[in-house]
A and B are shown apart, each in its own frame.
Chain A
Amino acid sequence: MSYLLTTLTTKQEVDSIIRSTIDKVLVLRFGRASDSVCLLLDDVLAKSARDVSKFATVALVDIDSDDVQVYVKYFDITLIPSTIFFFNAHHMKMDSGTADHSKWVGAFRAKQDFVDVVEAIFRGAMKGKLIVSCPLPPERIPKYQLYYKDV
């Protein structure tokens, strides 16, 4: 868990932060402090938070708290960690060659990957798009399997 990034526990906090970041990409990480992949992701986020600060805000959401279960259900978060991007209160989707475009599942390999992704989202959002394609090559994208009703 990093001490530089704000952690959100209540629904109200999440609401307010989504509404208050204007003209900046909002990166919300849904995860647990005890998970190792989550820690990796947190590390990358913390290190690049300052570099990206001019066009993005980074925040962490703890999925173990009861208040935010609404969001967990809404975004259908099953795999930890999941990162969701917002821009001006719009949910931004990204096509990274995986099944789920609405979130980013897993950690980033390097700081630069994260910065590239945020930049792509920013550029797309400034142009008015709601979905952007991922600038990373497929080997740098974490792969996962989605189960549908345990199949």
Chain B
Amino acid sequence: MQKVEDALEKGSDMSNHGLVLEDDPEYQLIVDCNALSVDIENELVIIHNFIRDKYRPKFPELESLVHHPIDYARVVQKIGNEMDVTLVDLEGLLPSAVIMVVSVTASTTSGKPLPEDVLEKIVDACDRALALDSAKKKVLDFVESRMGFIAPNLSAIVGSTVAAKLMGTAGGLAALAKMPACNVQLLGAKRKNLAGFSTATSQYRIGYVEQTEIFQSTPPALKMRAGRLLAAKSTLAARVDSTRGDPSGNTGKAFREEIRKKIEKWQEPPPAKQPKPLPVPDSEPKKKRGGRRLRKMKERYAITDMRKLANRMQFGIPEESSLGDGLGEGYGMLGQAGSGKLRVSMGQSKLAAKVAKKFKEKNYGSTGGATSGLTSSLAFTPVQGIELSNPQAHAHQLGSGTQSTYFSETGTFSKIKRI
């Protein structure tokens, strides 16, 4: 690690020369720097785990409150072996809300002070972590300054800082080029803050791309789309750069223009609506619908069998009528001799079934559960519907004209009107 750092210092001195684009040793150095920054990150993770494990007996909750390894290391360094965290000044290290949470949890923590040797080890590890972090920063700065030569197209779109960060996180230009655009969008995205804060305002899963100039200048409503667009075009630019296809950076500039134009187009107001002229009458035929629902609806108004019989007449036989002697409504074939019934029962007409059901529900509801077991449901049904008739009795009735139908024993009314 030391060796590469020295080479790094040398490299940054050399950067002042006006170098030709395809400079292989420089480029190799940059590639090494990228690999180095990835290694540093890995080291940092290991050190962070180490510090965390060692510090857990003292302050277990801190690891869930402060996620970032560098911040964690700094906080641990500041707190040290102190039991009363309120005495420790954490200003500038953390946002004030987090400081508050930390001090509150520290007051109720189940930790114990650490022995001296463990504490020494922890402090050493923290120093190492911070040193590594500053080294990584230096590497990134260097890469950034050379970005114009490494990846001109990419830096034309997103700017050299962000390009350097992206390359650093991806682990090199080739690795960045291999990533799909959706991953590039999320490079460097911070993990969600779980400190009890509401997630209603949590940001939209976007990484280093957020820091680009284009993104910052788009209106908030279009930020999501702009972010996606930026990530996509920068991936393309990175691919161009990784194969050194356009060393001048013109492709990148073209992409940038394209992005700018697209964002402008999104912000255009929609075209004004012209009132349409009315359509020609009867030119569009009405859409007739079909299906089960329509059929059931039609059944309610269909001609019933009773009405059909009443409409027809037998040849040569005068029909009966309601007022007698040809006055009033004619009955047609309804109740003619030979059919055996004066009143044709409706059978199970669909509408009657529905009405019967409704009636039944209503009446059952009103009587409650206090009915005796001997009552039959037939007593509650409405006029038509279920009828138990003795076919023989009716046949006799028709034959004898003397029997009065006014006070009949078997039949009831001869003319039923629907209410």
Measured CB to CB, the residues of A under 8 A from B are: 50-55, 115, 119, 122-123, 126
Q: Are B275 and A55 interface neighbours, CB within 8 A?
A: no
Using a Cβ cutoff of 8 Å, how many contacts connect chains A and B? Answer: 23
Q: Does B280 contact A (CB under 8 A)?
A: yes
B270-293 Cβ-contact flags toward A at 8 Å (1 or 0): 000001011111100000000000
Binding site secondary structure of chain A: loop
Contact indicator A51/B277 (Cβ below 8 Å)? yes
| B278 engages A115 (CB within 8 Å) | yes
Considering the chains assembled together, what is the distance between the CA atoms of A119 and B279 in angstroms? 10
Shortest beta-carbon contacts, A-B, top 5:
A55-B280, A53-B277, A51-B278, A54-B277, A54-B280
For A54, the chain B residues whose CB sits under 8 A away are 277-280
CB distance from A26 to the nearest CB of B (A): 15
Asked if B275 and A122 sit within 8 Å, CB to CB, the answer is no
- Cα distance, A126 to B282, chains bound together (Å): 9
What residues of chain B lie closer than 8 Å to A115, measured between beta carbons? Answer: 278
Most chain A CB inside 10 Å of its own CB: which residue of B277, B279, B282? B277
Q: How far is the CB of A85 from chain B (nearest CB, A)?
A: 15
A119, B278: Cα distance in complex, Å: 10
Closest to A119 in B: B281
Name A50's contact: one of B277, B281, B282 (CB within 8 Å): B277
When C-beta atoms are compared, the residue in chain B nearest to A55 turns out to be B280
Q: How far is the CB of B378 from the nearest CB of chain A, in Å?
A: 54
Interfacial chain B residues near A51, Cβ < 8 Å = 275, 277-278
- Chain A residues, Cβ within 8 Å of B279: 54
**Contact indicator B278/A123 (Cβ below 8 Å):** no
14 A-B pairs with C-beta separation under 8 A? A50-B275, A50-B277, A51-B275, A51-B277, A51-B278, A52-B277, A54-B277, A55-B278, A55-B280, A115-B278, A122-B280, A123-B282, A126-B281, A126-B282
B244-303: which residues lie under 8 A (CB-CB) from chain A? Answer: 275, 277-282
